[in-house]
Amino acid sequence: MPEYLKKGDTVGILATARKIDLVTLQPAIKLLESWGLKVVIGKTIGKEQNQLAGPDWQRATDFQEMLDNPNIKAIWAAKGGYGTVRIVDRIDFINFKKKPKWVIGFSDVTVLHSHINNMNIGTMHALMAISVKTATPEAIATFKKALFGEKLEYKIPAHKFNKTGSAKGELVGGNLSVLYSIQGSESAVDMKGKILFLEDLDEYLYHIDRMMMNLKRNGSLKDLKAIIVGGMTSMNDNDIPWGHDSLEIIQDIVKDLKIPIVYNFPAGHIKDNRAMIFGKNVTLNVSEKESVLTFE
């Protein structure tokens, strides 16, 4: 695990994917400063090349500089979208491996989570800088706890699709579409013996089915210790309906797995996006009454 933060430490905010301006980041900057942290703004903030926060080389250079800067203790993605996969192969992680620091975000940042988790280094799946303005107090509170190394434990109401049981293992995962897109690459996280978290946004329902079928058929699901399904938000359907919602699709594909499975976990593209540490060992207990996820 990278070192947790303390007052006086510096957090860098940059854009690895879509463009964003400095004004939009003011709530995030004020939040970090209210916690006694210093903020460095990346060179990609305010830059643009069509959808992206500047060309690939510029986004990669910004990330590399923050990665190699010993004064920056955490790197917080300003926004998601798409584009991180275009820069990951340009990044030199040699110095980072010697002295890891927190890489924070979700959605498109799943590329970095998986790539870094493969190095046996932890990352932080938490809200983006752009999300601060709309995030719930609980999401912000858990982000602070995660940053400063306080204990994380979540008690989640039962869902009718849950499969009861207990599991211990390393938590990995992220955005389903991104995980699907990096299968077969060196960034594809090894799911064997792990606890897998999944979430997604704005996908067609049959796409969810297709991606989950891929994970099933390529063997990614067969040796999991547990599955945690987060927000499956703002899904789309065709004129001729698929006939099942996203949770029903997932439940149908994983129902034969003899492992604990939790649905509707509060993380992902939702306002109540609770912080989690990927690469960290967790304990999951799923009962008829509730599910409890505890980070060791």
Q: How far is CA 270 from the centre of its chain?
A: 12
CB 268 within 8 A of CB 233: yes
115 flagged as catalytic: no
Maximum distance among all alpha carbons in the chain?
Answer: 56
Q: In what order do the strands lie in the sheet with 72-77?
A: 38-41, 10-14, 72-77, 102-105, 123-125, 276-278
Percentage helix, strand, coil for the chain under 3-state DSSP, each rounded to 5? 30, 25, 45
Picking from 166, 28, 187, the residue whose alpha carbon sits closest to that of residue 123 is 187
Angle between helices 205-217 and 246-254 (to 10 degrees): 20
**Backbone conformation region of residue 259, classed left if phi is above 0, alpha if psi is from -120 to 50, else beta:** beta
Provide the total of helices (H) and of strands (E) in the chain, helices listed first: 8, 13
- Residue of 115, 199, 203, 291 with catalytic role: 199
- Residue of 115, 125, 207, 269 with catalytic role: 269
For residue 277, give every residue at least 6 positions away whose Cβ sits within 8 Å of its Cβ, in sequence order, or none.
1, 122, 123, 124, 125, 146, 152, 171, 295
Instruction: Outline where DSSP puts E strands in the chain.
Output: 10-14, 38-41, 72-77, 102-105, 123-125, 153-157, 165-175, 195-201, 226-233, 261-262, 276-278, 281-286, 290-295
CB 10 within 8 A of CB 38: yes
199 flagged as catalytic: yes
Active site residues: 107, 199, 269
